[in-house]
Amino acid sequence: MACHPIPGVLIPLTMPVLPLRVLSVIPPMTQLNTPYPSTAYLTGFLRSQGVIAFQEDLALALVLQLLSAQGLRQVASQIETITASSYSPSLQAFVAQRERYFATIGPVIAFLQGRDSTLAHRVASRQFLPEGPRFDSLDVYMDDEGGDPLAWAFGALGLNDRAKHLATLYLNDLADVLRDAVDSRFEFVRYAESLAASQPTFDPLSIALSAPANLVDDTLAQLTLNSLRRHAPTVVLLSVPFPGCVYAAFRIAQTIKAYDPQIRIVLGGGFVNTELRELTEPRVFDYFDYVTLDAGERPLLALLDHIQGKRSEQRLVRTFVRDQHTGLVRYVNLVEPDIAFSEVGTPTWDGLPLDQYLSLLDMLNPMHRLWSDGRWNKLTVAHGCYWKKCSFCDVSLDYIGRYDAASATVLADRIDAIVAETGQTGFHFVDEAAPPKSLKALATELITRNTGISWWGNIRFEKTFTPDLCELLADSGCIAVSGGLEVASDRLLKLMKKGVSIDQVARVTRAFTDAGILVHAYLMYGFPTQTVQDTVDALEYVRQLFLNGCIQSGFFHRFTCTVHSPVGLNPEQYGVTLKTLPLVSFAKNDIGFYDPTGVDHAALGVGLKKAIYNYMHGIGLEEDVRSWFDFKVPRTSVAHNTIERALGLSD
């Protein structure tokens, strides 16, 4: 006997043993230029085990349906129900030019999908697209004589990129229209994120899911039904990497339950692995039959055996279920070894519409654009992190703490297979930090095989990345790397156990740059005991790194303490006291803390983000870093040639 949860009722059902047909789904929203890789990994693995498996990207499908002539006409009808006097600037611009939007949306989507490159001439002319408030950002680049605001970025010949940037602004205008007219929670990447991120109870999500469906909900429901009819699955896997995918995942599950309550629905992914580890909320199982933690291969094999009657519920692996007798949530974990990383198989993108993803150009910086521009085959060099010491990181969790690598031969074989399947040679290695030793071996193998790929990925700025190794990586196809400089303070880097120093980062990043490899630095502010002086000094280091060609891109984010990090587990070692969390039955991750420094990090963050944005566009690199702040901050204590000295460029 198995139990299908229905809101408020527990009904035992007898389920006949049917041939397994597993559908893995990417729920909205994730990036639009390339598929999120979890379903590709799961589908490839399941097929290697003889399971009939399919995959769908409903995130992309939803956007393409909403951003179509038909979809925009539905949006326009929605706007007609709103009082005109309350129109936002985005709605005003859309209503005034809606016929042009209806006429241009199809061609623009085709252009961004790479199917109609000749449209670039008309888009770049700025006479073809209707322009809303997002185009106001171009005024930032206008010269004193009112000349071409994008000439500095694209010159006379960067026609395609210029058009791509303008088309991206156009889509962002339409995203604002969807937010203002249909769903205030709508964003292209973080849809209804606040309903799930570190939400201690299920109540906000429950209220949202019981509310009347809007246009976005109805569109997603129809796409879900279409997918079910195409594939006739017996099991649906919803992989939820981020809080901004959770609401849509529950809406999809809601639709599946109404369509066929015998379909088993499984929830997993990065959000679950991080935030639902202490799940006790029974209402989650009104939508999902099972919730699995950590690497999905072993739990899925156990679960599929259970669904087929080959093992009991008591022999599931890392799986939450709702007890059919008590109605309470139980965690079942028969300890079994995980599938070795070298044996998980090759991910497959079969079934995903690779020719329909949108190459967007939000940021003009050549490194920063990689996250949204181009269709990258996402691949992992190793499972977990080989360093696993950083005090801000969730090192106690499986996706960080369990390090497992594969040989260069296995990795290169996977790369060859993926290129043969997709016909695309761009790879993004999505490791927490790709190991230098593994990258060196892989680069050597790629060169030996004459594998003509382009690749980029995340690393630690290890001293082992010598100029010679950087040249080798470049020869193998490496075009960019990203890594954590974090607080840019030797005192704080030591406190957070980062294992690098400012001087070392300068030398390593310059070695990459000299090899023709772009460098992005992840930056952090608000770490425990970080003072205003620390922050100002950090920005000075960053300025000098840009000025000396060590890094080309960066991003400042506010430190957040999580319950699974060393700071969250041992706050006294970092000089802070944790705030008391409310009773948690749903999501648990972020936790507030009291820092004795009392610094207003939010106010400092405004200046830091303004500075980094300008540095990425080559602006203000000679200015005093204090000029970026709207209030008085101390003069930096860092010598103006510190990075030059680290690079051996001055005495």
pLDDT per residue over 234-250, tens digit each? 999 999 999 999 999 99
Residue of 52, 57, 1 lying closest to 22 (CA atoms): 52
3-state DSSP assignment of residue 321:
strand
Asked if 410 contacts 459 with a C-beta cutoff of 8 angstroms, the reply is no
Predicted local confidence at residue 139, as pLDDT: 73
What integer is the mean pLDDT of 612-641? 96
Beta-strand pair 52-57/21-26: parallel
Q: Domain 363-646 is in which class?
A: alpha beta
Tell me the one-letter amino acid at 74. Answer: Q
Domains 17-57+192-342 and 363-646 share a fold: no
Share of the chain above pLDDT 70, in %: 94
DSSP letters spanning 396-419? TSHHHH--EE--HHHHHHHHHHHH
1 pLDDT more than 50: no
CATH of domain 17-57+192-342: 3.40.50.280
| DSSP 8-state class, residue 562 | B
Asked if 344 contacts 3 with a C-beta cutoff of 8 angstroms, the reply is no
Structure-token match 């879900």, residue found = 224
Predicted local confidence at residue 4, as pLDDT: 44
From CA 641, how far away is CA 73, in angstroms rounded?
A: 58
Domain range annotation of the chain: 17-57+192-342, 64-181, 363-646
How many beta carbons lie within 10 A of that of residue 650, not counting itself? 11
Cβ-based neighbours of 125, under 8 Å, separated by 6 or more: none
From CA 512, how far away is CA 458, in angstroms rounded?
A: 13
CA torsion sign for 96, 102, 107, 113 is positive
Asked if 56 contacts 255 with a C-beta cutoff of 8 angstroms, the reply is no
3-state DSSP assignment of residue 251:
helix
Asked if 63 contacts 31 with a C-beta cutoff of 8 angstroms, the reply is no
From CA 272, how far away is CA 293, in angstroms rounded?
A: 7
What integer is the mean pLDDT of 392-414? 96
Q: Is 420 exposed, middle or buried (0-12, 13-18, 19+ CB in 10 A)?
A: exposed
Predicted local confidence at residue 155, as pLDDT: 63
Predicted local confidence at residue 2, as pLDDT: 42
Q: Which residue has the higher pLDDT, 236 or 12?
A: 236
* Each residue's pLDDT tens digit, 350-367: 999 999 999 999 888 889
Predicted local confidence at residue 19, as pLDDT: 84
pTM of structure: 0.92
* Each residue's pLDDT tens digit, 278-321: 999 999 999 999 999 999 999 999 999 999 999 999 999 999 99
6 pLDDT more than 60: no
* Each residue's pLDDT tens digit, 518-549: 999 999 999 999 999 999 999 999 999 999 99
**Average pLDDT, rounded, for the chain:** 94
140: its two tokens:
């930032």
From CA 445, how far away is CA 438, in angstroms rounded?
A: 11
Strand partners, 377: 427
3-state DSSP assignment of residue 170:
helix
Predicted local confidence at residue 204, as pLDDT: 97
pLDDT-based confidence at residue 138 (cuts at 50, 70, 90):
confident
Asked if 508 contacts 475 with a C-beta cutoff of 8 angstroms, the reply is no
Asked if 386 contacts 146 with a C-beta cutoff of 8 angstroms, the reply is no
Radius of gyration of the chain measured on its C-alpha atoms? 25
Asked if 538 contacts 625 with a C-beta cutoff of 8 angstroms, the reply is no
143 pLDDT more than 80: no
Long-range contacts from 543-546, C-beta under 8 angstroms, 24+ separation: 543/611, 543/615, 543/621, 543/625, 544/638, 544/640, 544/642, 544/643, 544/644, 545/485, 545/505, 545/506, 545/509, 545/521, 545/643, 546/615, 546/616, 546/621
Predicted local confidence at residue 146, as pLDDT: 57
